[in-house]
Structure 1
Amino acid sequence: MAALTNSIILLLISLLIYGAGTATNLQARYAGTDLANKKQRATAISITMVMTTFGAVAGPNLVGVMGRFAHSIGIPELAGPFILSAAAFILAGLVLFVMLRPDPLLVANMIETYKQEHTYKGQPVTEEATENKRGITVGAIVMILTQIVMVAIMTMTPVHMGHHGHGLSAVGLVIGFHVGAMYLPSLVTGMLIDKIGRTTMSIAGGVILLAAGVIAALAPSDSLILLIVALALLGLGWNLGLISGTAQIVDATIPSTRAKTQGKIDVFIALAGASGGAMSGMVVANSSYAALSLAGGVLAFMLIPVVIWSRKG
């Protein structure tokens, strides 16, 4: 409608609704853990993220097709992808409305209530029956730092490549490897996080992000291979940070307050990503892409003392 009427107000309203759908998509990774036991939560998160990969890969490849479809029905070509997005959101909503019954979070709340009602006076309270503030803090910090580093370096990589003569096909190849590394390893990384532990894999994520920053900083401007390696490592480090941090949040919360806590943390993650993207341009403008990449690597390395501190609690 905004494209047909040339209304910027309508466009902004539609993008606000679109953003709500994107936020819901991110929250889906939490929904997969509501009824999972502690030893399978990261795996449940990873399954949700792998499913996201199909949309992330298919969507961009359908831009041209949807553009031609929009033109054939008298709508501007650039509005074509939004038709696909609207249809996908409606279909996803219908699937959730029809098939996600009973709501797993409501079931988890009922289980928690039942356990509380059948806990005898003087009986010790289990760890899962209380919130772990330290665990919530650490999980949030892991995801926030990971998001800042990933968005900052990813945002400026295409600009850096463009300044040094790389074409759009080369940029697309690098970003393609990056996005693939963000999501495709999820099933493996999720199982590793469940088996080896949240804090150990959070440290691994920090080390991988540090390596990504160093390689991106030292890579010659004409080396496409090294940029692919750097951005793939950046995506993998982000994957480890997001899944391990999410699992820590779920472990540290109780069902009755879990959704509220998760929503608040995702707001901070979104703000962190926006800040990282905005600051990255200023850093590169006043120094260099290498300086930005090294700074991102050092920031990611700060995950290590954070998770070590969590172990001492």
Structure 2
Amino acid sequence: MGILLEKDRDAVAIRCRAMPLLFAAVALTNTAMVASTTVATLIVADHAGSGVSGFANAAAVLGSAAGAFGLGALTVRHGGRRALLTVYLLGFLGCLVALLGGAGGLLPALLAGMVAIGIGNGGAQVCRYLATELYPEDRKAFGLSVIVWAGTVGALAGPTLIAPAGRLAVGLGLPELSGALLLAAAMTAASVLITLALPAATGAAAHTGRPPLTWRALGAALGRPAVRLPLTAMLGAHLSMVTIMTMTPLQLHEHHQGLGTVGWVLSAHMVGMFALAPLSGRIADRFGGRVAIGGGTAMLVAAALLVVTAPTAYSLALPAALFLLGYGWNLVFVGSSGLLSSGLETAERVEVQGGVDAIVFVAAIAVSLVASATFAGGGFAVVAVVGGVIALAPVPLLVRGVRWSLPRD
């Protein structure tokens, strides 16, 4: 009994040391990602036209997919701390390359830097799974939700820091827009230093030293029933959110709404996406990941219906819809992540989790293009209908699971 208590005390000590460090590094990396993608889009638009401005964000998302998948493979080979150090260091180097490209008007360098910044961001996203190892079985969803909560910092701080960073850049003799990239470099450097202080045991459970899974083995793992529901749910929620959210600023702009309205609506969305993540973790731990997915899916559909019925109600209905859209995504995201943490063998868990995130990131690029075409052809209400339908993707799997769980005669 004393030995067990000693192990429990050691686990609590490691958790108390590791969680603040994981949280801080993720918050800094997310803030760097938000700030850098915002200004990179503007820099590309200034030098090559608005028609290709989306390439900056696409490069960052592609990098995020690579970082999500790469963190899993690196963790298996070298452990969680070294894996995080690698992706965060690549993110820092990416900031430096992007800074040189942005300041000098060298768009290939800027886009290459954005890919590397995305790698750091992808690693930060998958980092939530490393946090689950630090918690007992009945609190794993809460543990990962705390790391998701770190996204609140980036979502709220990233845009507000762009202007002061621009003034700093001007004072240093650099172009104003390059200031956010300079800030991002400082933040990712801090993430590297923070990660150096992580306990060596962080992510140790997944460290087997074996080669990464082959593509065939990973594909087979992604097709298992334990993975199929969370993967489908994450895809449905993320693509539904991206479909509606990315077209919201354009809807506001075309109806001559000012920046104050844009900020109010998007702030409501960001609060929904991140601020209540610990609540989602409690729900998933208490009632199960399937309940969290079902509740989040219902919220996503409700958000879409609210947009369809009131697409120009900018003062109340649209902010409420975007809040529901964000929190519905959060519930599904946390519930699905919790299922992935409990439904896989330790030896393959982190690689499959990274593979799921990578698939979601890549699919988001394609759906953003579809959303643009849908908006141009049918308007915002049609975009909302498409988003609501996409959100229903996990419903057949949820219903099938309920049917199988009912007692048979």
TM over 0.5: yes
Partner of 2:242: 151
Shift of the 220–149 alpha-carbon distance from structure 1 to 2, 3 Å rule, reads closer
Q: Which of 152, 176, 200 is 2:267 aligned to?
A: 176
Q: Which of 82, 86, 101 is 2:199 aligned to?
A: 101
Partner of 1:161: 252
- 1:140 paired with 2:231, answer yes
- 1:11 paired with 2:115, answer no
Q: Which of 155, 164, 181 is 1:82 aligned to?
A: 181
When structure 1 is superposed on structure 2, of 177-186 and 256-265 the one drifting more is: 256-265
Alignment size in residue pairs: 293
Partner of 1:122: none
Which 4+ runs in 1 deviate beyond 3 A?
A: 107-110
Q: Structure 2 CA distance, aligned partners of 1:166 and 1:5?
A: 34
Q: Which of 114, 120, 123 is 1:21 aligned to?
A: 120
Q: Structure 2 CA distance, aligned partners of 1:298 and 1:4?
A: 43
Partner of 1:116: none
Matches within 5 A, 1:134-283: 134-283=225-374
Q: Output the TM-score relative to the length of structure 1.
A: 0.88
Q: What are structure 2's unaligned runs of at least 5 residues?
A: 1-99, 209-220
Q: In the alignment, is the contact (CA less than 8 A) between 1:139 and 1:248 conserved in 2?
A: yes
Question: Which residue identity does 1:90 align to in structure 2?
Answer: A
Q: In the alignment, is the contact (CA less than 8 A) between 1:105 and 1:255 conserved in 2?
A: no
Q: Output the TM-score relative to the length of structure 2.
A: 0.68
- 1:291 paired with 2:382, answer yes
Partner of 2:96: none
Aligned-pair CA distance for 1:307: 2.0
1:231-284: CA deviation from partner (whole Å, max 9, x where unpaired): 000000000011011111111112211121112111110022112211111112
Q: Structure 1 CA distance, aligned partners of 2:229 and 2:107?
A: 41
Q: What are structure 1's unaligned runs of at least 5 residues?
A: 111-129
Q: In the alignment, is the contact (CA less than 8 A) between 1:212 and 1:233 conserved in 2?
A: yes
1:162-186: CA deviation from partner (whole Å, max 9, x where unpaired): 1122112101110011011100011
> Residue 104 of structure 1 aligns to a residue in which SS?
coil
Question: Which residue identity does 1:55 align to in structure 2?
Answer: G
- Provide the alpha-carbon RMSD of the alignment: 1.9
Question: Which residue identity does 2:275 align to in structure 1?
Answer: L
Partner of 1:68: 167
Q: Structure 2 CA distance, aligned partners of 1:230 and 1:3?
A: 36
> Residue 256 of structure 2 aligns to a residue in which SS?
coil
